[in-house]
Amino acid sequence: MPNRTGYKRAGPRSEQMIPNSSNRGLPEDGTRQLLRWGSLITAVGGAAVALLMTVFGGVSVEGAHSNPGWLALIVGMMCLPFGLMLSVLGTAKWLRRRSINRRP
């Protein structure tokens, strides 16, 4: 039920408030959080790989050339797949939500 501010509660137990006009009564399902954190984690992984290749001496067949290079390699190999997975999941949820909102 909308209150004076034009917002309604997302669910019976949820304390999260969502605007009435943009979601048409759909509860918040974490799409924004997936997109935000997925893109942030992917950016951190990309920055680590960029630092590895430029500042920390690069990578050869035997691995990184310095200790910070190894750390950047580990962070990049951890963040890029996980961040991309979160971003793809968030995009899929956003597309599904958009198609639900377009139905009459």
Closest CA to 19 of 104, 102, 101: 101
In a domain, 18, yes or no: no
- Model confidence pLDDT, tens digit, residues 3-56: 565 555 555 555 555 554 455 566 788 999 999 999 999 999 999 999 999 999
Is the pTM of the predicted complex or chain greater than 0.85? no
In a domain, 3, yes or no: no
> Range of 49's domain?
31-102
Looking at the domain assignment, is residue 19 inside a domain?
Answer: no
**Would 22 be classed as within a structural domain?**
no
Closest CA to 82 of 30, 46, 56: 46
Total structural domains within the chain: 1
Domain contains 87: yes
Q: Is residue 21 part of a domain?
A: no
